[in-house]
Homo-oligomer: A and B are copies of this chain.
Amino acid sequence: MTARIFIGETAVNAVPADDRGLAYGDGVFETMRMHAGELPLWSRHRARLFEGARRLGLALPPIDVIEAHIGEAIAGIDAGMLKLLVTRGSGGRGYAPPADQVPTWMLALHPLPATSTSLNGLRLHWCQTRLAVQPALAGIKHCNRLEQVLARAECEQAGCDEGLMQSTAGDVVCATTANLLVLLVDRWITPPVEACGVAGVCRSWLIEQGLVEVGVLAPHAVETADALALCNAVRGILPVSSLGVVEYRQHPAVAALQAQLAVAFPMFQLHKEVA
């Protein structure tokens, strides 16, 4: 991993040992797809970053400084992922946020994930790990991710590509790294994220375009749906081939949704013709 680390506006060599991100997961992050030297979804990631910082009372570095360093980091890079992490920095008395916060933040470049399995459809595991109902933290991309770590470990154990998570109230919420899209007859439904889950930037675009509606989904509704897909900001829309023992046929509505996303964001064009 190539990481550029900063405290406030100053570049540093390492994250301090007393950083609150390390101690408490006291921070927010964004994982973004680079394309032709740009971040096509940046304005949406930035909006969620601001919202996360507002909800947590977390001081961000000046946004123009972040944007300048992002520009340097991704210049000339054709494709990849960029992760931005911002923590509340050092200090404070225990859990209490320090009066004068100086954020620690970093930019790290990663290659795009392999897409081989995704074209044929993802195999999903029903995760035993539930998402706690916590409106104070729902929707934002904060760094308290032990639920996702435990759920993802289940997926690896089960030999699946991804996993669907329910809330502790029993509603279906999302996958560990993606939002869920469920085709009910001719409408795409995605669960709300006001109680738990993350408000994905790809999901928000689909909702704004009127392509996907928000609705509460019970496990049975998902298992008997006409098709499932996952979406996130790095991989776009991915078809699902199975969920536990339930199998789903390829459905033209998934390809149609992928095509609509690719018109707006060409980085999500599929290249099935490549052998």
Contact = CB atoms under 8 A, between A and B. Distances in A.
Interface string A83-120: 00101100001111100000000101000010000000
Contacts of A108: 17-18
Contact of A1 (B14, B18, B177): B18
A268 interface: no
Contacts of A253: none
A5 B19 CA distance: 13
A29 B130 CA distance: 23
Interface stretch (A38-46, A67-75, A148-156, A244-252): A148-156
Nearest to A97: B153
A137 interface: yes
Nearest to A128: B136
Contacts of A25: 24-25, 143-146
A153 B57 contact: yes
A21 interface: yes
A125 B164 CA distance: 38
Contact of A24 (B18, B93, B94, B149): B149
Nearest to A26: B149
Oligomeric state, in copies: 2
A13 interface: yes
A262 interface: no
Given A22-B15, A22-B22, A137 B146 contact: yes
A129 interface: yes
A13 B16 CA distance: 10
Contact of A146 (B24, B133, B153, B177): B24
Interface in A1-56: 1, 3, 5, 13-15, 17-27, 29, 56
Contact of A95 (B87, B130, B133, B176): B176
A108 B90 CA distance: 14
B56 A24 contact: no
A163 to B, nearest CB: 10
A145 B95 contact: yes
Given A26-B149, A96-B152, A96-B153, 12 more contacts: A13-B14, A17-B106, A18-B108, A19-B22, A22-B85, A24-B25, A25-B143, A25-B146, A136-B150, A137-B146, A142-B146, A144-B145
10 contacts: A15-B15, A17-B106, A22-B87, A24-B25, A25-B146, A96-B153, A96-B156, A130-B134, A130-B136, A132-B137
